[in-house]
Amino acid sequence: MKLEPPQLPWRELWSPLNEELQVGLAEELHREICNREHVLFGRAVLAIGTRRDLDDFLFYLGPTPPSFALVHLTRSRERLRDFPYTELFQTAEDWVERGLKASVLDYEQAHKSQDGAA
């Protein structure tokens, strides 16, 4: 089954992925998940977005909620069920409100405090 994600509004901190990266990152996620209890173990996923300053990626899981997962890839095989770190979002609107907007706000606040310290 080919996953077709909905159109999302991307912000300056996040950008969509091309098809080659989508495939490679989905393969990397499945390599990293070694614990059957991980929330994404065995699930079909499609990498659709990347955060430019971290190894955080947005994966589309399909139309049935939860539909999105924010994953921090570690580039190593993980045996614990909570790694790689994953946060689930029920819908595209949920991702935009709790994920996208929050990450942009956190980024802006962190850089504002760094600029003030310089």
pLDDT at residue 118 greater than cutoff 80: no
* Number of structural domains found in the chain: 1
Alpha carbons 63 and 57: distance in angstroms, whole number = 18
Task: State mean pLDDT over 84-91.
Answer: 96
Q: Does residue 1 lie in a domain region? A: no
- Shortest CA distance to 48 belongs to which of 38, 58, 56, 62? 58
**Which residue matches tokens 């393969």?**
27
Mean pLDDT of the chain: 88
CA 72 to chain centre: 7
pTM for this prediction: 0.88
Q: Does residue 7 lie in a domain region? A: no
**Predicted pLDDT at 36:** 92
Task: State mean pLDDT over 89-114.
Answer: 88
- Residue 59, token pair as written in the block: 């994966």
- Residue 53, token pair as written in the block: 């300053």
Instruction: Quote the domain boundaries for residue 95.
Output: 14-117
Q: Does residue 4 lie in a domain region? A: no
**Predicted pLDDT at 50:** 95
